[in-house]
Amino acid sequence: MEQSDLERLERYDRMYRDLLKERDGILRQIEELKAAGRVKSVTYQQLLANKLTVQNLIGRFQVYGIGN
């Protein structure tokens, strides 16, 4: 099954939007942990690593002109 260029672009756009939503959720969780004074917790450290990974992916999309 061959997909058109438009379908492919739509899938990339959807993935980009999903990454933005994921990043926002991670940032919200990080702020909640900060407010609770849990910046040294394993969960906080994992969220920071996830944030960097997602931000890297978002940046790659932007380099290729997908997204904002």
Q: How confident is the model at residue 1 (pLDDT cuts 50, 70, 90)?
A: low
Q: How confident is the model at residue 3 (pLDDT cuts 50, 70, 90)?
A: confident
pTM: 0.86
Mean pLDDT of 37-61: 97
What is the identity of the amino acid at 57? L
Contact of 53 with 29, CB cutoff 8 Å: no
Supply the angle between the helices 5-35 and 42-63 in degrees, to the nearest 10: 150
Total Cβ atoms within 10 A of residue 14: 10
| Tokens representing residue 15 in the block | 């993935």
Q: Percentage of the chain with pLDDT > 70? A: 97
What is the identity of the amino acid at 6? L
Q: Percentage of the chain with pLDDT > 90? A: 79
